[in-house]
Structure 1
C-alpha cells in the first residue's frame, strides 16, 4: 500500500479487507506479481489508477482461479483451481485480486507461474502498440530500453513479425543482451544513437517510444516516409514542441496509447489476441524468456529500488504465495 507519494520507502505491506468477485469477475489467488515501471510512477503519484480500480499497486499477476463471479462459468474456459495469468488495472501486489473474466488467461505454454507473472502486461502492451502501428515484415523498428521488460519482448516480437530491429541500452552488457535477443543493431543511448541509427538503417518505420518529450524531435527526424511514432511512456518528460511542418512532407503519424485505462471490452480483445497470436511464439521458443529477478512481497521496497536503479536486465517479479492451487 502507498499512503502518500514518495520514494520506495513509502511502500507498506498491510492487511486489507478480503475481496470477492462481482458479476463477470474472477477471484485469483496470487502466486506472483510483475513489477513494472508504471508501478514506480503510481508510487510517485504520477500515474493514478483508473476510476473504480484498486489503489493497490500491481498490473499483472499469476496464480490460480479461486472463485468465479456471477455469470462466469465453464463456457468462459475458467474453472476453480486452474493456473492463470491476469491483466489488471490495479491490485496485483496482494494475496488475492478480482479481475474481469476477459483479462484472465492460461499461462504461456511451458512457463511456471513465477516466470509467467512478468509476461502478460508486456505482451499485451507490445502486441497492442505494434498492432496500432501496423508494423509489418520488411519494416524497421526502434525501441529504447531494449534490456528491460518491454524492450526485451518488443525486440523479439518485432523480429517475429519480420522487422529489422534497432534497440538502445545503457551498457555493453545490456547492448549484448539486445543482440542476443535478435536486435539487428544495438546502440548506447549515452552516445549519438540517432546518428548511428541513420547510418545503419536510414529511416525508421515504427518507433515504440517510452521516452516522450526528450526524444520527440529526434524521433520525428528519424522516421522514414509514412513512419509511425507511438508513445507509451514519458520517462523523458511530458511536454515538448512538435513542428507539424516536419510531419507533412513524410506523411508521418504520431500517436499516444495506453493499456491500463482502456475499456474492458478492448482489454478482453487484446488478451484474446495475445493468447491466440503471442502465446504460441513463447511456446515454440520464437520469443524466449528474459532474465527474471525475484523478491518476496515483503521485500517490495528493494524490488522498486532495483527497477528504479536501471541496473536490472529483464523482468522483476514479487513472489506472493506458493504455486499450489487453493484448497476448495
Structure 2
C-alpha cells in the first residue's frame, strides 16, 4: 500500500478531493498524477469490478466502490476523473456533473457519438462544472514547440499536415486529429471527406471500430490535413507539416527538424522542457489562476466532430461541411443500415477481448 498524503502530512484542508471512476490502466495513471500534486488527494475509486476497485484503492489509500453513483453521493468529490470505456462515459459524466463536483477530467475519446458529447457539455454547463478531456499530447515539449514555430511563421503559412496511425479512429485517431489541430494553431475545420472499410466485426472497448480509414480535412485558410489509419504499406511519413516557406517534422529523441528559407539545411531543434501537465493546468483552472484548459470540453468536442464527420462522409459518400448535423455515430448507422456487411465473421475487440476471444 502506498502511504497517502494524509499520512505524510501533505493533505491540506483546502486541497481538492479526487474520485476516480474506472480502475483500469488509465484510472491508475490518473491516480498517480493526482497523488503527485500537493493540491489534490485521491479519496475514492469506483469500478464495476470489485477486484479492480480494491486493487487501486489499496495502492492509493482510497475507499473502493463498485457503484460509482454511491461514491459520488457519499464522497463529495471536488474533481472526478472518468477513465471508463467511452460507451458509458457520457452517462457517468452527467452523474458526476449533477453530484456537485467542481471539475471533471475525462479520458479520450470524449464519447462514442457527437450527441453524447453534447449531452456531457450541456450537463456540465447547467451545473457550472469544468470539463476537460485527456488529449495529453497538447502538453508534450515536441508538440508545444512545433505549435510555437508554426504560429511564429517559421514555415510561413501552413498548408498541409500529415498524420498516420493504426488501431482505429476513436482509439488512436482521436489523438492524431487533436494533435494536428493543436500544432496548426487550432484552425477552424471547414469540411471533411473520408472513407472507411469494415469487413471484419471489429470493436474497440465495446464500440464498433472500422478496419481501415482515410480522410482529408480542410481548415480555414486552405490548410489541408491528411489522416490515415490501418492502411497497408508503403506507409505515409505521417509526421510532417508543410508551409509556404518551409517544412517542419519530428526529429530523433523528441526533437524537431526545420527546413526554411532562412537556413540552407535542416536545423535540429531541441524543445524546452515543459513545466505544466494537464493535471496542473486543470488545478489552475479550478483555482481561477489560469485562463482555461487547452483540453477543455469544447475543444474535445471539435475533435469528436471531426471523427464523426469522417464516418458521416463515408456514409453519405460525399463531402461533409461543418458543423456536423448527425448526432448518432455514423459508423453504427452504416452497420445497422447494412452498408458495411461483415465478410469475415467472428467479433473481436482490439482493446478488451470478448469472452469468446479468451476461450
Question: What's the TM-score bracket when you normalise by the shorter of the two chains?
Answer: 0.3 to 0.5
Q: TM-score, normalised by structure 1?
A: 0.38
Q: TM-score, normalised by structure 2?
A: 0.36
Higher relative contact order, structure no. (Cα contacts within 8 Å, ≥ 6 residues apart): 1
Rg larger in structure: 2
